[in-house]
Amino acid sequence: MRFRTRQVHAGVEPDPTTGAILTPIHQSTTFVQPSVDEYMAKGYTYSRSGNPTVRALEDRLTNLDAGVDTASFATGMAAINAVFLAFLGAGAHAVISDVAYGGTYRLATHVYTRFGVEFTFADTADAGAVAAAIRPATRLILTETPANPTLKLTDIAAVSELARDRAIPHAVDNTFLTPYYQRPLELGADMSIHSTTKYLDGHNATVGGAVVLGSEDHTERVRFVQNATGTIMSPFVAWLTLQGIKTLSERMDRQSATAAEIAGFLEAHPKVDRVAYPGLESFPQHELAKRQASGFGAMLWFEVVGGVEAGKRLMDALEVWTLAENLGSVESLATHPVTMTHAIMPPEERERVGITDGLVRLSVGLEDPEDLIADLDKALAAV
């Protein structure tokens, strides 16, 4: 079956008791066992270890992202943490994209370094830089592509090949493009990580995360951490996310088309200094974006002439766009990463990787593009 069919039907069967077309919300702590000898006969014992509603979501994500299995979590950062716990210990080393979500940077530098884990934040757009960063103690490569917020791309196939040659697991944060536009496991990666909070939910209704795994060995490791730490997704969140995924392709196509219009508008505007969107021919990695993904996504960023203060005035003048953290929702959101999503990073580190003080990140939603552009145009006139 094709993707649009699978996003609606994968992982779900009509309820055998009632015939309900939607998977029931199994809001239960425990599951009755028929006897001691038939323990686990129905596959479930306690919801920390597995829940039928959550399992339906995991099965759908496994199907859509070409995996062997999926483990879901309470948040996207819980999913990243599970991967860290599964593969990193005292004395271990990991290579991470130098541009990544601020929460990933915080977890690595402010938590895991306390326990003797070392990290190198490398320019993963350059496979040679990744190779140079690898040490004998390297146990994980984590790339984020497109990266948050600069949209820098990693050549997934190239990094996966060098990781495989060295027997190092390669995990890809695929939140920005989802399995609809990009499937890292098909490009050679070992794990595909999602903040399901974003496009998979799509409605600003939940927080959640998932790791889609490409092998039984990695599945066993990550699922052990999932059960041991208890950072599980709730049945209600899984149920809501199952409904959100049904419209994933339609939302992303519409949002991406609008993002392309907005990027073109901003690129031609005299008060805009720089624009970055993978769908623009001016984007440095435009050809890679076309090669490894089937769409460009709905995230973009720009800088206003006049720097930080002009950018702040612009964001305060927006009315249709909402000033808020998060991305991937049906509502269009504007974010200032330096004061919001990436405030934890030292200024010199942000500057080094291109997260400038004047960068405005846009997550394009489902509003009419004419209204979004008119709002930006009016706000730009005010700076």
At 152-172, the pLDDT tens digits run 999 999 999 999 999 999 999
C-alpha closest to that of 15 among 28, 4, 6, 25: 25
Report yes or no: 98 and 124 within 8 Å, Cβ to Cβ: yes
- Reported as half-sphere exposure (CB side, CA atoms, 13 A), residue 164 has a value of 13
For domain 248-381, the CATH superfamily is Aspartate Aminotransferase, domain 1 (3.90.1150.10)
User: Is residue 198 flagged as an active site residue?
Assistant: yes
Q: Which of 4, 6, 48, 106 is catalytic?
A: 48
Residue 39: the pLDDT is 85
pLDDT > 80? residue 117: yes
Q: Rounded CA gap, 28 and 150, in Å? A: 42
pLDDT > 80? residue 344: no
User: Is residue 277 flagged as an active site residue?
Assistant: no
Indicate the average pLDDT of the chain: 95
Amino acid of residue 56: A
Share of the chain above pLDDT 90, in %: 85
pLDDT > 90? residue 356: no
pLDDT > 80? residue 340: no
C-alpha closest to that of 125 among 153, 100, 101: 153
Residue 155: the pLDDT is 98
Q: Could you tell me the two tokens for 377?
A: 């145009």
pLDDT > 90? residue 358: no
Query: 271 Cβ partners below 8 Å, 6+ apart?
Result: 304, 305, 306, 310, 380, 383
Q: What is the CA radius of gyration of the chain?
A: 21
Residue 306: the pLDDT is 87
Question: In the chain, where are the structural domains located?
Answer: 3-245, 248-381
| Average confidence (pLDDT) over 334-355 | 78
Q: Rounded CA gap, 274 and 361, in Å? A: 12
pLDDT > 90? residue 245: yes
Q: Which of 60, 152, 183, 198 is catalytic?
A: 198
Query: 186 Cβ partners below 8 Å, 6+ apart?
Result: 66
pLDDT one-digit tens code per residue, 191-217? 999 999 999 999 999 999 999 999 999
Q: Which of 44, 65, 69, 101 is catalytic?
A: 101
Name the β-bridge partners of 363. Answer: 299, 333
Residue 238: the pLDDT is 98
The band of 300, judged by pLDDT with boundaries at 50, 70 and 90, is: very high
Q: Which of 173, 190, 201, 375 is catalytic?
A: 173
pLDDT > 90? residue 59: yes
Alpha carbon 208 to its chain centroid, in Å, reads: 10
Class of domain 3-245: alpha beta
| Average confidence (pLDDT) over 311-334 | 93
User: Is residue 183 flagged as an active site residue?
Assistant: no
Share of the chain above pLDDT 70, in %: 99
pLDDT > 90? residue 52: yes
The band of 326, judged by pLDDT with boundaries at 50, 70 and 90, is: very high
Residue 6: the pLDDT is 98
User: Is residue 101 flagged as an active site residue?
Assistant: yes
User: If DSSP codes are grouped into helix, strand and coil, which group holds residue 24?
Assistant: coil
| Average confidence (pLDDT) over 113-124 | 97
The band of 267, judged by pLDDT with boundaries at 50, 70 and 90, is: very high
